Amino acid sequence: MAMVESGGDVSAQNPYSTASGKYQFTRAWDVWFKINFGRTWSSAVPSRRSSAELRLRANIAQDEMFDFYYQQMVAPWIDWVRRVGLGRPLADVELMALFHRQGASMATHFLRTGKDPNAGINGNLNVRIYLAHVRKFFTSRRQDAVKDVMIERNIILLPE
């Protein structure tokens, strides 16, 4: 997700929103992370002028926070989507990207209706275009290391 969202840049700042860091969480997530993880997302986003050591610590913190978010929110939603029969023929990695981009209710709305109410707002890509970027990235032969991590975490990948 980090490569799709920001090219893996721990200091990335979205010019259209408060989204930041390599996973592009908005400041609205700060409260959730503070309550559930013990620190805010924005506290883990260094400035571009930060030292290499601080950027490395931020990189580790952002990965830990994303893993926690995935386990607490994304994976249960994907399990629910599969149980109720939504999301076919999307792979888990596409569902993860859809959830991360849209949130649970809007992602579910998209799966049920095919409509994207956020398209074009604040420079947002249409969901189908976004998912095409995700699909292209995760099916790229150059991303074998990323695929290994996804397999390690039991996330279903797209068919080759």
pLDDT, position 71:
94
What pLDDT score does 45 carry? 94
Region 2-152: CATH code:
1.10.530
pLDDT tens digit sequence for 25-59: 999 999 999 999 999 999 999 998 999 999 999 99
Report CA torsion sign: 133, 139, 143, 147.
positive
Q: Categorize the per-residue pLDDT at 160 as very low, low, confident or very high, splitting at 50, 70 and 90.
A: very low
What is the band of 145 on the pLDDT scale with cuts at 50, 70, 90?
low
Q: What is the pTM of this model?
A: 0.79
Question: What digits encode the pLDDT tens for the residues 92-117?
Answer: 888 999 999 889 999 999 999 888 87
Asked whether residue 75 carries a pLDDT value surpassing 60, the answer given is yes
Q: Which amino acid, 96?
A: M
Q: Domain map of the chain by residue range?
A: 2-152
CA pair distance 93, 104, nearest whole angstrom: 15
Nearest to 84 by CA among 66, 111, 110, 63: 111
Is pLDDT of 123 > 70?
A: no
pLDDT band at 154 (very low <50, low <70, confident <90, very high): low
CA distance 111 to 15: 28
**pLDDT confidence bin for 146, thresholds 50/70/90:** low
